[in-house]
Structure 1
Amino acid sequence: MSFNSPNEQKWAERWDQLFDVLSAEPRREIIISLRDAPPDQRVPLPDAAESPNQSMDSETLAIKLRHHHLPKLADVGYVHWESEPFCAQRGPNFAEAEFIVEKVFESIEEIPDSLLKNCRVLGELGADD
């Protein structure tokens, strides 16, 4: 791929970062939890990162959040987080991640079955419609 300007490269990098950040379920769950909360509200962790698709105890999830998932979300400005109390809130670039999650939810009926099979989060959402 050839870029004509540094701005084009930054644009492509933003999209790459967005999909990289959304590639892990705990990070998607945090974005969904914040999307469902009022804009200025914090969500409790690790609860906001838990998913019916995961079989991880809360303590292990909290460790993974602190050392991997939350720094990755914070580095691109999707969330701000604190250790005490352990919580997250929307960051200045939250709308980027929220946009993708919204489009997936709006398109639930168009998602191929192979992506819905065994996904409890999207399966429940599709059943609600």
Structure 2
Amino acid sequence: MSLEARVTNCRRVVDRWDAVFEAITAEPRRQLIVSLLDAPADQVVSLPESAVNPDVPADAERLRQELFHVHLPKLEDQGFIHWDRDPLTASRGPRFEEVAVVFSALHANAVDIPDSLVIGCHRLESERQERAES
């Protein structure tokens, strides 16, 4: 591979990682990705329910507006999801695995994650307990 091709490829990879990390900077987007990860690959999930942290109450109308205007377009623009307005649902997009792998890795390594990032996160607490017991 030529140096120019290697640099071009490296820039593409950096851009993809930047997109992944930008996608997971907001809790509703993280919750939606985990909901889709938990669902069968060809299944749609209902919104806003699938974007709500079960341990943190949310204002459903405000969340719905944020989903429409911020979160869903951001995830769809990167190919991570597809979404429909009526009824409000989401499904995996062609690049879903790029973002899902981050959560799969976190869940698989929950025992190694610092308490400050686990305690209070029901999903990681459960994953940690399951892994510690096995």
TM-score calculated relative to the size of structure 1:
0.90
Contact 1:81 1:88 in 2 (8 A): yes
Alignment partner of 1:95: what SS?
helix
Residue 78 in 1 paired to residue 76 in 2? no
Q: Deviations over 1:67-113 (max 9, x none)?
A: 10101100110000010110000000001111111000000100011
Q: 1:29 aligns with which of 18, 26, 31?
A: 31
**In structure 2, distance between residues paired with 1:125 and 1:7:** 35
Which segments of 5 or more consecutive residues in structure 2 lack a partner in the other structure? none
Displacement, 1:8?
1.4
For residues 56 and 28 of structure 2, the distance between their equivalents in structure 1, rounded to whole angstroms, comes to 9
- Establish whether residue 91 from structure 1 lines up as the match of residue 93 from structure 2: yes
Q: Percent identity, aligned pairs only?
A: 40
Q: Which amino acid aligns with 2:10?
A: E
Moved over 3 A (4+): none
* 1:53 shift after superposition: 4.0
Report which structure shows greater RCO (CA 8 Å, sep ≥6).
1
Higher-Rg member (1/2): 2
Query: Which of residues 63, 78, 84 is equivalent to 2:65?
Result: 63
Structure 1 unaligned blocks of 5 or more: none
- Return the letter of the residue paired with 2:19: Q
**Separation in structure 1 between the aligned mates of residue 130 and residue 44 of structure 2, nearest angstrom:** 26
Size of the aligned set, in residue pairs, is 127
CA spacing shift, 1:127–1:58, aligned 2, 3 Å: farther
Q: Measure the CA separation in 1 of the matches of 2:68 and 2:27.
A: 15
Q: Distance in 1 between matches of 2:85 and 2:104?
A: 28
Greater displacement, 114-123 / 5-14: 114-123
Letter paired with 1:43: V
